[in-house]
Structure 1
């Protein structure tokens, strides 16, 4: 009989991790957990304390600070696999999971399914010949070295990438490897996992290559499995049911998806909405149930496509993503930086990006050319971004796979701030109070079209008091709005005072906040 060791990579919500581990090990299966090294030590202690007496739970011997698209995700997976292989000698299969996954079949069904098919389940398509990558970088993921995270260190990422392209610093793929690509959610047999771990010890050239490949969690295991295992022993599919919208975002499942999920020919599903309490409860009970019959129809993707098309004509039957009242999500935290001096806010965001792994986005509601990922068109104009602001923000949270996001807004955007503060998510505001010289205000008047380049000096001097009062009024309106979790940094304040505000705003240590405050020329014009 198959015995499954679940490989769980997670970074938040210790209560949910504990619940998931207890649920999946209660029927005799095992779990090895990697809790992101960036997460708090107290959260990790809570998980370890709660599960310390569970003999079917183990932990990666070394925690890694993980980042999307980085080698760190593969390193964390290998560490967790090694712990599972050592601590669970009777495990026959190793199944990769995230905290957003839930079982959509019983344990009995899963073991019987794996017993009947002596195969590895992993998507692995030819990297160059398949169309698995729809947009963005393809061959350049492999032939150039990537040392920075594109999402949190965008400027460094593209500077290093561009320099290599200009200088022709390409590299060769290890000659005996045919690079494959596919989903990171796999289920592998024990002998396959042991062969992979053995290869990682013997082939340092392969490890070096993938360590500087961009998004290696989509290529590393996929390539090594094809290299080590005969084709007839590989089922090129995942056992985790997941779908993507035509905006490239993962589809989130809600309470009314229970029957649909059970009818899919998969063992788990991803992603379950944090607000789908009823669905989570029903699926949580399912795994330990006995004598459950499943009618497999596999119509999920076709049904989703049908409903998506109806939604575009206003005919979809259930409220979902685009409605005005749609929430960003209870567990998410939107961090707003408001500054009239946009260049100061951008410098602060660059400093935050350098000191933390929180994704940052500049003035997305004010500047048309703000760098944004391709979200299917919603990001193309300021009018679209503002009209669908909650939908846009939710898509950005999903794209960056984060629960924390920093964005810049002009202080005049008080209506946007009110809207986000009224959401069920957690919203915080950091106001940057700057000094404004006459020369700066004159430049501002010209930039926004209040005055032309040839406007007489007397006209400009008449404008200055009005502009200064407008800026002061915007700040007063923000201060009088009664926003909770609202702090300010000030050009005239000390480093210690500003560091305290940033520490509270970002929930960081005082030392890290000081490093952010000390960013070169932060307030310079």
Structure 2
């Protein structure tokens, strides 16, 4: 009978990870866990302590700091696979999971399904010929080298990419490899996994190649399986039910999707909404149940396509979601960085990106040119962004597949701050207080249209006290607002004081916060 070793890559919510591990191993299956090395040490210790007495759970021997689109995700998976192969000699299958996945069939059904289908389940389509990639970079993922993270280091990522294009620094794919692409959620047989690990040890040229491709978790395993396993032993599909919107964002499942999920011809589903507590409870009980009959209709993808397409033909199935959406999500953290000198906030934001790999957006509600993904038009104008601010921010959480997001905000946007702090999500605020010279305030008056370029000096001198008072008043209003989680970094304060404030704001070790506080030329104009 099939015995499944689940390969769980995760980075948050230790309580949910412990619950998922205990649930999936209670019926005799196994789990190997990789907990992101960027995450808090105390969270990892809590997971290890809680699962220490569970013989069906093991951990990757070496943890990796993971970043979206990086080789680190593949390296973490390989480390976890190696631990699972060594620890669980009776495991017949290895199933890739995330913390957002939940079983939609019983363990009994899953084992019987795998016994009846002696195949590897992995999406693997020809990289160059298929249309699996709908938009954005395709061939350039492979033929150029990518050493920087596109989300946390966008400037370096595109600078290196454009430089290689300009200099013609392309490279060839290894001669005997036909690159494939597909979903990273696979289920592989033991002999396949052992063959992959053996090839990784022998073919350093292959691992070096994929280590500098972009988003290798969509190509590495998909390619190696096709290289090692006969075609008639591969089922080109995933056993995890997941759907994406036209904007490339994963579809979330909610409490009223229970019956729909059970009817799909899949073993797991992703992503279960963080707010769908009833759905989580019902699915949690399902895995250990016995003698459950499932009526497979498999209409989920077609039904979603039909309902989501109605708006494009002028038929409204329901009110647009941004007209009804009222919360960012109870388990999410929105970190707001506010500073009147925008260049100061942007410098600190760049440093935070480098050190924490947290998705961060510059002045989202103030600068039309702020780089944003295509979210269906809601992001196109400042007026739209502000009117649908919670919906827009929720979409950004979904796009980056994160529960933690940092945005910059001007101190004048007190109403936006109040709105986000009144949400069920967890909001935090870091205020950066700067000194303002007369020259800076005159430049500010020109930038915002308070004074023309040829305004007489006498007029500017009369205007300066008013501008200075307005800025001070904005800061006072924020301080008087009584926000529960509110800290300040001040130009006149010591590095130690500023680092303490940053540590509280980001919830990071003091040493990391000190590096943020020491951002080069932070307060320079």
Q: Which residue of 1 aligns with 2:239?
A: 239
**Residues 502 and 513 in structure 2, CA contact (< 8 A), matched pair in contact too:** yes
What do residues 392-430 of structure 1 show as CA deviations (whole Å, max 9, x unaligned)?
111211222222111100111111111110111111111
**Aligned equivalents of 2:299, 2:28: Cα separation in 1:** 31
Provide the secondary structure at the position in 1 that maps to 2:471.
Answer: helix
**Aligned equivalents of 1:314, 1:474: Cα separation in 2:** 45
Q: Which residue of 1 aligns with 2:297?
A: 297
Q: Which residue of 1 aligns with 2:48?
A: 48
Does residue 107 of the first structure (1) align with residue 114 of the second (2)?
no
Unaligned runs of 5+ in 2: none
Q: Which residue of 2 aligns with 1:341?
A: 341
Does residue 154 of the first structure (1) align with residue 154 of the second (2)?
yes
Superposed CA RMSD in Å reads 1.5
What do residues 65-112 of structure 1 show as CA deviations (whole Å, max 9, x unaligned)?
111111111011111111111111111111100110000011111111
**Aligned equivalents of 2:321, 2:24: Cα separation in 1:** 30
Q: 1:438 to 1:324 in 2, by over 3 A?
A: farther
**Aligned equivalents of 2:320, 2:286: Cα separation in 1:** 25
Provide the secondary structure at the position in 1 that maps to 2:322.
Answer: coil
Unaligned runs of 5+ in 1: none
What do residues 180-203 of structure 1 show as CA deviations (whole Å, max 9, x unaligned)?
100000001111111111100100
Q: Which residue of 2 aligns with 1:437?
A: 437
Provide the secondary structure at the position in 2 that maps to 1:226.
Answer: helix
Q: Which residue of 2 aligns with 1:500?
A: 500
What do residues 155-191 of structure 1 show as CA deviations (whole Å, max 9, x unaligned)?
1211221222222111111011110100000001111
What is the TM-score with the length of structure 2 in the denominator? 0.97
Does residue 476 of the first structure (1) align with residue 465 of the second (2)?
no
Q: Which residue of 2 aligns with 1:60?
A: 60
What is the TM-score with the length of structure 1 in the denominator? 0.97
**Aligned equivalents of 1:118, 1:98: Cα separation in 2:** 24
Q: Which residue of 2 aligns with 1:26?
A: 26
Q: Which residue of 1 aligns with 2:275?
A: 275
**Aligned equivalents of 1:2, 1:520: Cα separation in 2:** 56
Q: Give the CA deviation at 1:435.
A: 1.2
**Residues 8 and 99 in structure 1, CA contact (< 8 A), matched pair in contact too:** yes
Provide the secondary structure at the position in 2 that maps to 1:416.
Answer: helix
**Aligned equivalents of 2:88, 2:512: Cα separation in 1:** 40
Aligned pairs for 1:212-227 within 5 A: 212-227=212-227
**Aligned equivalents of 1:233, 1:438: Cα separation in 2:** 74
Provide the secondary structure at the position in 1 that maps to 2:5.
Answer: strand
Q: Give the CA deviation at 1:321.
A: 4.4
**Residues 428 and 486 in structure 1, CA contact (< 8 A), matched pair in contact too:** yes
What do residues 242-297 of structure 1 show as CA deviations (whole Å, max 9, x unaligned)?
01112211011000000000000100000001111111111011111111111111
Provide the secondary structure at the position in 2 that maps to 1:362.
Answer: strand
Q: Give the CA deviation at 1:320.
A: 8.8
**Aligned equivalents of 1:196, 1:127: Cα separation in 2:** 19
Q: Give the CA deviation at 1:309.
A: 4.0
Q: Give the CA deviation at 1:375.
A: 2.0
Q: Which residue of 1 aligns with 2:96?
A: 96
Provide the secondary structure at the position in 2 that maps to 1:6.
Answer: strand
Q: Give the CA deviation at 1:10.
A: 0.9
Q: Give the CA deviation at 1:355.
A: 2.0
Q: Give the CA deviation at 1:316.
A: 4.1
Provide the secondary structure at the position in 2 that maps to 1:169.
Answer: coil
Q: Which residue of 2 aligns with 1:122?
A: 122
Q: Give the CA deviation at 1:314.
A: 8.3
Provide the secondary structure at the position in 2 that maps to 1:328.
Answer: coil
Equivalent residues, number: 524
Moved more, 455-464 or 105-114: 455-464
Q: Which residue of 2 aligns with 1:411?
A: 411
Q: Which residue of 2 aligns with 1:139?
A: 139
Q: Which residue of 1 aligns with 2:37?
A: 37
Q: Which residue of 2 aligns with 1:77?
A: 77
